[in-house]
Every structure is written in structure tokens, then in C-alpha cells.
């Protein structure tokens, strides 16, 4: 008897329907075709054990399984459940009436328990797009998939539940999630707050400007000055995710298998902080079994690279194009996949190998050549994509011992949101442009032209500090954001002054004694 069961394959952050055709006929052999990988081929042993452990008999016949489309590689153990259902239905142990209405995915253990899978959310979205009535998946993934409206999502723990449901012996209760309520429940709750930061008012101001305009930022300072502490608090002042951004971010984490058990929708912007020993593939994605990298897991959030010069040169260079294009394309001989990579880059570094160059109290023991080689690990093209460069100094004792709370993240966030709303209105007619950091030269010439005094100040700064030509556009972008924070229509001289102060590493004499 020939039957068809439906599953899904995840490619990138999207899914496509996989039709599993099973035919039982006279004989005793088992064939599986349709480009399955080793994990899918091994499903035969898991299915035999799971089925017979739950009181059913694996057919003693010739079983032919075809997984279509045959040119798409089927990977992982998530096909166990649809394969098992298809084999039992072909052997007439399961009624076929409901098989065309449901998509099934799940990994089987030897006792028939159904284990979690990756990519439940994109699979659910695809099931709804293709008009399926429902989706049957592991119970551990049910809340993640149930955020998709107009689709019955059933979470099951054992293969017996699935068999009895398809045979009409029991009814399963679909999981219902109020997507908006789930989204708004915790999207303003943060464990870390800028009120914990003592002193460093100028650096906090730089973070506010960076958040308001979506600018990449780098902090240069000695150990213990508070670089990591403030970077970790950046998500608390960023504008909240929109529902569409939350769905997109959740899809990426779902595909990577990074969703916590029982979670549904990510409501806060991600913060990723990979170690400096990370490989290029781990950062941008790919591999033998393609997975999103850290730059994609940080999509719509913050990618924090601590001790930037300690990262390998190759790792840093592969980030250049994703930072510009806000996406990463992984092209290999057998596949080509695109992952989103719209991140806000935050980097930190010591000013020299010992960490104490320009320190007000401790003496640096590095030679000028050593300092230059250390700074030279960061290429000009990468530095070109960082709008704000801030030097940070240690906090004096008087500030550390002050028990009065600093300004809270909530009050800073209100100003950031107001500035982003101005930018949203400004770029409403420019698809793909959402904040000042994404402005092209043409948009700069339209929206970020300084007044006469500001233009003169910019010229003086370029000549005095020997700023590079690439710093010109960056200063104008940052100045436009500072003007938005003040509610100013034009870019004025005070905005240029502040923006110039955020270009420390571009100064020709930085790092010289």
C-alpha cells in the first residue's frame, strides 16, 4: 500500500515541504532513497525499537521509502516520526484519512518517546503557508511553534499518542499562544541597567548616541575600566523589538537549536559575546551541516567582541561584508544559504598589549613599535565600519564609592526611541534604510548637511587631527544622530564637535608617544 506523509526540511532560516512516500510490498528488504544523510538512514533501527516497544509490529515486508524532493539533502533525526507513521500506515496499522492534513516532525528514542528538534518555528510557518490543518511536533517545541496563528499545533510525548490520534481513538488538545501577550510580557524587563554604572558619563553618552542611530562602537581603555560592563547593558537602551523582528530573530535561534525548553517568542534583542578563539565558520555560519553563526544569532541585537585585537585577522576580515550588507551568504559546492546579519557591533580593546598606555596612574611598559603592531591587527576597512570610537579611563574612587544611582536605562531608552521615531519618519520612503548608520552618501548630502559654522569646524578637525577621508561620512552620520536626540532639524556646530570627539582611533597620532 502506497501512502504519503509530510515533513519539512530547513534551509537557511526557512523550511520547505518534504513528501515521504512509503510503499510496503512482498519481500523482506528495506530501501530508503531521496538523498538521506547518515542520521536519516539510521532511523530504521530507532523506528523498529520504538514501534515494537509500544506494542506494534514493524512490517516484515519489503519497505521502500522515498523522500521528495530528491535533490534536497535530508539531514538529522527529526524525520523519525513521519517515517514511522508512513511505514505503519503503509502496513495498514494507521488510518490514512488524516495524513494529508498534518505535517509531522520529531526524533524518536528507542522507547518511543519523541525528542526535541531544531527549526520548529520555520516548520510551523511553512505548514501554515502550505495550507496544512495542523502540525504534530515534540512537546518540548510546542510553545515555540504555537506562536504561528491559524494552525493547530499539537505537542506529543510518545509515538503511541500520534498513532491513536491519527486512528481517531483519542483527541489531542492544540496548544494556543497569545502571540502579542507573550511578546509584550517581558520585552521591557532587563536584569542589567545603566543605573549600576558609576561615573563614565561621557561613555554612557556615546552608548546613547550609538543606540539612537544604530552605530557600531568600539571602546579603548585599560583593564577594569568598565568596557564589558557597559556593553552588556546596551540592549537595555535599544528600542524594543517589533513583532516582525521578534519572529525573525526567533526563527534564527530555532534553526540553531538555541531556544530554551518551553520558550515561545524572543522578546528582547539578543546579545552575543563570542570568545576570541572563535573560528570564521562559527562566527559567520556554515559548516558541513549549515548552521547560523554568531553574527546571525545576534541579528536585530548586539554582537560584542571583547579584546578585539586578540581575534584572528581572518575572523575579523570575514565580518566586513556582513556588516555592510546586513546579511551573510554561505556558498559551498553543494549548497548556498543566506542568513540575516543585521547587527550592532560593539567592540572593546586595550590600548596596548600591557593595557596601560595613556593610563593616568600606571606606566605602560610597551615600546612604540609594539603598540603600533597591536593596533595594526585591526584593519582599516573594518575600522571604517565603526562609527564611534571612544577612549575610556578608569573610574576615580569618589565615583565608585558614590551610593547615589546613576541615570536608569529606562530614561535613556525613552530618548533613544524618540530619536529612532524621527529616523523612521525620515526614511519612510527609502526601503532598507531604518537608521542613520545605514545612510548612503546621497542621503547624507540630503539629510546631514551641517550649517556654515559646523562645516568650518569639521574642516578644522580634519586638518588638526589628521583625520582620514573615511572619517568624514562617519562624523556626519553621528552628528545627524546627535541632532535627532536634541530634536534639531539641522546639523549644527555643537553636533559636529561632539561627533569629532568620537573618532579617537582615526587621529593620525593616536598611539604615538
Query: For residue 103, what pLDDT is reported?
Result: 97
**What confidence score (pLDDT) does residue 462 get?**
86
Q: pLDDT value at position 398?
A: 67
**Which residues lie across from 255 on neighbouring strands?**
none
pLDDT band at 166 (very low <50, low <70, confident <90, very high): very high
Q: What is the pLDDT of residues 215-266, one digit of tens each?
A: 999 999 888 888 899 999 999 999 998 888 989 999 999 999 888 877 788 8
pLDDT value at 511 more than 60: no
Q: Average model confidence (pLDDT) for the chain?
A: 89
Residues 6+ apart with CB under 8 A from 154: 134, 135, 136, 137, 142, 165, 172, 173, 174, 175
- pLDDT at res. 40: 94
Cβ–Cβ contacts within 10 Å for residue 111, how many?
11
pLDDT value, residue 188: 66
The predicted pLDDT at position 507 comes to 59
The percent of residues in the chain predicted with pLDDT above 90, rounded, is 61
The closest of 63, 84, 61 to 5, measured between CA atoms, is 84
Hey, which bits of 176-287 come out as E strands? 217-220, 271-272, 285-286
DSSP state letter for 162: H
Return the DSSP state at 491.
Answer: B
- Range of lowest pLDDT (67-71, 255-259, 441-445, 508-512): 508-512
Q: Which residue stretches of 428-505 are H helix?
A: 441-447, 452-464, 470-486, 493-500
Higher-confidence position of 333 and 136: 136
- Confidence at 506, pLDDT banded by 50, 70, 90: low
Instruction: State mean pLDDT over 24-30.
Output: 89
Q: What is the mean pLDDT of residues 128-150?
A: 94
pLDDT band at 513, cuts 50/70/90? very low
Average pLDDT in the 61-71 region? 93
**pLDDT value, residue 410:** 92
Q: How far apart are alpha carbons 89 and 56 in whole angstroms? A: 12
Which of residues 417 and 334 earns the better pLDDT score?
A: 417
Please report the pLDDT score of residue 237 as a whole number.
Answer: 94
| Higher-scoring residue by pLDDT: 356, 89 | 89
What's the CA gap between 377 and 395, in Å, rounded? 28
Query: Shortest CA distance to 114 belongs to which of 140, 91, 132?
Result: 140
Per-residue b or e along 421-440, where b marks 16 or more CB atoms closer than 10 Å to that residue's CB? ebbeebbeeeeebebbbbbe
Among 150-154, 248-252, 444-448, 465-469, whose mean pLDDT is lowest? 465-469
pLDDT of residue 491: 93
Cβ-based burial of 420 (10 A; exposed 0-12, middle 13-18, buried ≥19): buried
pLDDT of 510 > 60? The answer is no
The mean pLDDT of 18-24, rounded to a whole number, is 95
- Whether 370 shows a pLDDT value over 90: the answer reads no
Mean pLDDT calculated for residue range 20-44: 92
CA distance 493 to 513: 31
Of 146-155, 201-210, 320-329, 395-404, least confident by mean pLDDT is: 395-404
pLDDT digits (tens, 9 = 90+) for 375-398: 888 887 788 788 999 988 887 766
Per-residue pLDDT at 479: 95
Is the pLDDT score of 430 beyond 70? yes
- Inter-CA distances, 206 with 76, 311, 412, 481, 498, Å: 45, 24, 12, 11, 9
Alpha helices in 91-169 (DSSP H): 120-129, 142-145, 159-166
Amino acid at each position: 500500500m502506497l501512502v504519503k506523509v509530510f515533513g519539512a526540511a530547513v534551509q537557511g532560516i526557512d523550511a520547505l515541504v518534504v513528501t515521504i512516500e512509503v510503499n510496503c510490498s512482498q519481500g523482506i528488504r528495506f530501501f530508503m532513497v531521496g538523498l538521506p544523510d547518515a542520521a536519516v538512514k539510521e532511523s530504521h533501527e530507532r523506528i523498529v525499537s520504538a514501534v515494537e516497544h509500544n506494542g506494534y509490529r514493524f512490517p516484515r515486508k519489503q519497505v521502500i521509502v522515498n523522500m521528495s524532493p530528491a535533490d534536497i539533502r535530508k539531514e538529522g533525526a527529526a524525520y523519525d516520526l513521519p517515517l514511522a507513521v508512513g511505514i505503519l500506515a503503509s502496513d495498514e496499522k494507521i488510518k490514512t484519512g488524516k495524513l494529508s492534513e498534518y505535517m509531522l516532525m520529531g526524533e524518536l528514542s528507542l522507547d518511543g518517546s519523541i525528542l526535541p528538534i531544531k527549526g520548529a518555528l520555520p516548520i510551523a510557518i511553512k505548514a501554515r503557508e502550505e495550507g496544512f490543518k495542523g502540525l504534530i511536533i515534540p512537546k518540548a517545541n510546542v510553545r515555540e511553534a504555537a506562536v504561528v496563528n491559524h494552525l493547530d499545533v499539537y505537542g506529543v510525548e510518545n509515538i503511541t499518542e500520534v498513532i491513536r490520534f491519527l486512528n481517531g481513538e483519542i483527541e489531542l488538545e492544540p496548544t494556543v499562544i497569545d502571540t502579542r501577550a507573550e511578546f509584550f510580557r517581558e520585552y521591557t524587563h532587563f536584569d542589567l541597567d545603566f543605573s549600576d554604572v558609576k561615573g563614565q558619563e561621557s561613555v554612557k553618552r556615546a552608548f546613547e548616541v550609538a543606540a539612537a542611530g544604530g552605530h557600531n562602537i568600539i571602546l579603548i581603555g585599560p583593564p577594569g575600566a568598565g568596557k564589558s560592563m557597559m556593553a552588556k547593558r546596551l540592549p537595555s537602551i535599544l528600542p524594543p523589538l517589533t513583532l516582525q523582528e521578534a519572529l525573525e530573530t526567533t526563527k534564527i535561534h530555532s534553526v540553531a537549536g538555541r531556544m530554551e525548553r518551553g520558550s515561545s517568542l524572543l522578546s528582547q534583542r539578543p546579545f552575543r559575546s563570542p570568545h576570541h578563539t572563535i573560528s570564521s565558520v562559527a562566527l559567520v555560519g556554515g559548516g558541513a551541516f549549515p548552521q547560523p553563526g554568531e553574527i546571525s544569532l545576534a541579528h536585530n541585537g548586539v554582537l560584542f567582541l571583547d579584546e578585539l585585537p586578540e581575534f584572528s585577522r581572518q575572523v575579523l576580515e570575514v565580518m566586513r561584508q556582513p556588516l555592510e550588507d546586513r546579511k551573510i551568504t554561505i556558498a559551498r559546492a553543494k549548497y548556498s544559504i543566506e542568513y540575516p546579519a543585521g547587527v550592532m557591533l560593539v567592540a572593546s580593546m586595550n590600548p596596548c598589549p600591557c593595557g596601560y598606555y595613556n593610563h593616568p596612574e600606571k606606566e605602560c611598559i610597551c615600546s612604540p613599535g609594539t603598540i603600533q603592531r597591536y593596533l595594526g591587527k585591526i584593519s582599516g576597512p573594518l575600522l571604517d565600519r565603526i562609527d564611534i570610537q571612544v577612549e575610556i579611563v578608569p573610574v576615580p574612587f569618589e565615583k565608585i564609592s558614590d551610593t547615589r544611582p546613576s541615570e536608569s536605562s529606562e530614561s535613556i531608552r525613552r530618548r533613544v526611541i524618540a530619536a529612532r521615531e524621527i529616523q523612521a519618519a525620515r526614511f519612510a520612503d527609502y526601503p532598507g534604510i531604518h537608521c542613520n548608520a545605514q545612510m548612503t552618501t546621497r542621503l547624507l548630502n540630503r539629510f546631514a548637511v551641517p550649517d556654515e559654522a559646523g562645516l568650518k569646524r569639521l574642516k578644522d578637525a580634519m586638518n588638526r587631527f589628521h583625520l582620514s577621508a573615511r572619517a568624514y561620512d562617519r562624523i556626519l552620520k553621528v552628528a545627524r544622530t546627535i541632532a535627532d536626540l536634541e530634536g534639531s532639524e539641522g546639523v549644527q556646530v555643537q553636533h559636529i564637535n561632539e561627533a569629532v570627539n568620537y573618532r579617537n582611533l582615526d587621529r593620525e597620532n593616536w598611539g604615538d608617544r
